[in-house]
Structure 1
């Protein structure tokens, strides 16, 4: 995609797709969503991270930077391959009618994935050309990840730093013994990863054939309890007992008076520099093969990062330290730079902007952040440039309707006057943004569906009630005015290369 080409997109998580399973999958409903985007003329589908999540279900806290979430696997695909005897699909393929029960999903779907694994192994598919080619391509991360997941299951969620010392320290003989003891579970996790990436490649190819680009999302940090940290502890700021003394987060701002305490391990940039940032380069290279575009979450952490002592419970007290993102990014080939979008929200200074601009990354504009009375506010659509990807709100924000309802009277008046209407109108907001100079404009699916609080995906700094929204409608709306405006303002997928 040429940097100057305009586009429109929709943010729709895989988990939120409507379908026959208890959660959205990369199966039929994902293919149908690509068709929906084509019907609208939209050229970009933005999703949330695809990784295998922990017990809190946040796609920004995953067990690996590489592994896919096996619960997004389409069971009908397994049935079609002859690995699953019975496909437990609802009578009405589009029967979902409520929020995602992640505990139920994991419990129920694991049963059928296990059955498919047994069918796969019975057919000796681990010796097939397809699996062997997959193993050859992915073994550098998959070998460690599959054992990590087997050990996580064995030790019932105890963090890796508390595992038996020889396992924690990755003593080769101890790892070999663990492989032998847990072989069945290890092979299961290799199987589900094989299936996940097989299905993903089919979906990605279909999207490309239909002219739709998929934008992935990369969390800056990784979870402490992850194969990334267990395998590469020296790449992170840990003490001699493999514990975090400092963690990542952000200081207080207008949206969170306590700041945010993410509990994520911080990178040891000095160690990373010693091998020319191999960990980062491998991670980014892998992600940029999965997607056509990649948004880097919390991009400012590549310029400097906020460090909080792990004993604190919030982000009120912390210090900023220099990162070495510039050195790392300079080692990436330019073809990778062309695919990256920087999430440059929050406390952004000139150094962060300079890093973003040095590599010609597009930044972000958020309509909901625009109406503080400052005519120079960079989130006002009149200030969007052709290096901006603009949103009404992201997955971390309220829907347009909910956001408007919470505004003070003066803010409502200011916003309505700006877009030139007397009452809230998604159409008017969308048009205002699409006719701006922003290179990209991406809408949350929830705003197209005119949802309120029930459509919120995530509230930062909270745990309960997040990541559970799912579309209830069998047929998504094709707004005629939206189709026309996408063409009118040169944002149709037909203009993308």
Structure 2
């Protein structure tokens, strides 16, 4: 992915979030369907499976607003595997309602039932078929220096439950400010719950590691996603306030977002805490190095979200209702990535460099050598020449028809303005609307770009009902699930043909 002395090879892959798999029990998981998807990718000649962040989700269900940048989402733990291991019975699992739809995730039902069932599995630890080994592995997991975030995260979740799910900024001052006596008392009071949340992380990593190793064994690499920011209501912010622009009461001073533009008159107010980059620099970016190293335990390639923020970031005064008032400030720039290369070695990275790019961001991306992203759906503006048109690509980039934030290509094409659609038809040689999606895929594959990644919904030619996320909206996002009969031999053969024809076979 990133530049190296070895010759670059053309490759292709599929974008499909874990939650969109067709597993049982209400949401995609590390289940047999995940393994079958890996088998499908291998047969279809693919090299990459791109997923979204794996963290535990909070209000709004977005994987980009997580309770922890290190923890994994317990919803992805495969219930069937827990039954096979003797941690649950099928009768225990069948007692709960996880939602009746195979097409969409019902997060409210999951929230009300999944943790209760996982609690049962935790209580049944002694009944597991290999209880002795499991307990030994769990103890080693808790003691590992790689998991020094675990205790804070597990206590954070226990305290969150004790406080009715409210943000940590509303907790009693002693625990909010992590005073030693209050912390000691909390660890004692919530010891059993801390153990439960630690157990969930143990099971998550155990199951994910097995799936990743299976994929790697089939020649499939995992592309994961690291959001630039952490959520304010997270164990990361609560446990490490010195890393962020907070006041003495740990209240944010300024928060993250984007200024007004053609798409949003009031800008985007994300609300994430901003980093004290001067402090991070003094520590040699220690927390960042730990965070990135953790990502490379989970993924083979890391897509860094909102890459522009490392060059310059937009700061909005905390409490402002919109992003209209704010200012651009300098980020760490190349210094962070220089440190990363020295400490972690050459790693495969994708820079999410979408949106308006200043000359300094373009310079930063070029200096790192990381490939940027090209989105075909952004290419067909009949009024001007676009960098996203395939004839303008360089080899060192990743081309997508669309991302998780875009419309499906079928939905996008159907809604294109008249002049843009005319240009799109001319450019791609589309004679019939039914061929539009595959002509877009063909253009991505035929491009000079080293890697082409196609969302699964586009291979399935699905309409807007299969859209993953509409930015700046709440509700109806992150819920799409793939039909259990979607992965046909015919589709596999067609994907393989495209990979072969355009020199992208793994």
Give the shorter-chain TM-score range: over 0.9
Matches within 5 A, 1:220-369: 220-333=228-341, 336-369=345-378
Matches within 5 A, 1:399-438: 399-424=408-433, 425-438=436-449
Deviation at 1:183, TM superposition (A): 1.2
1: CA distance between counterparts of 2:505 and 2:261?
A: 37
CA distance in 2, matches of 1:258, 1:487: 46
**Structure 1 position 161, deviation (Å):** 2.0
Tell me the CA shift for residue 133 of structure 1. Answer: 2.4
Secondary structure of 1:331 counterpart = helix
Which residue number corresponds to residue 202 of structure 1?
210
Task: Tell me the equivalent position of 2:465.
Answer: 454
**Who is 2:221 aligned against?**
213
CA distance in structure 2 between the partners assigned to 1:33 and 1:183 by the alignment: 39
* TM-score, with length taken from structure 2: 0.93
1:378 to 376, 383, 387: 387
Deviations 1:118-144 (A, max 9, x none): 011566659833112222324310011
Which of the numbers 135, 138, 145 marks the counterpart of 1:131?
Answer: 138
Whether 1:439 and 2:447 are equivalent positions in the alignment is no
Q: 1:473 to 1:139 in 2, by over 3 A?
A: closer
Identify unmatched segments of 5+ residues in structure 1.
none
Partner of 1:489: 502
Q: Structure 1 residues 102-111 or 361-370, which shifts more?
A: 102-111
Matched position secondary structure for 2:35 = helix
**Contact 1:288–1:336 (Cα < 8 Å) also in 2:** no
Alignment partners' CA distance in 2, 1:140 and 1:146: 11
Query: Is the Cα–Cα contact under 8 Å of residues 14 and 24 in structure 1 kept in the other structure?
Result: yes
Kindly provide the CA deviation profile for residues 159-208 of structure 1, in whole angstroms up to 9, marking residues without a partner as x. 21221122112122211111111111111101110000000010000000
Between the two proteins, the alignment pairs up a number of residues equal to 489
Contact 1:19 1:96 in 2 (8 A): no
1:55 is matched with which residue? 59
Please show how residues 92-131 of structure 1 align to structure 2 within 5 Å: 97-120=102-125, 128-131=135-138
Unaligned 5+ residue runs, structure 2?
none
2: CA distance, partners of 1:35 / 1:278:
38
Match of 1:64 in 2: 68
Three-state SS of the structure 2 residue aligned to 1:241 is: coil
Could you tell me how far 1:77 is from its partner in structure 2? Answer: 1.2
Name the CA distance, whole Å, in 2 between partners of 1:359 and 1:74. Answer: 38
Which segment drifts farther, 398-407 or 387-396?
A: 398-407
Match runs of 1:129-168 below 5 Å = 129-137=136-144, 138-168=146-176
User: Which residue pairs with 2:30 in the alignment?
Assistant: 26
1:17 maps to 2:21: yes
Report SS of the residue matched to 2:124: helix
* SS of equivalent to 1:38: helix
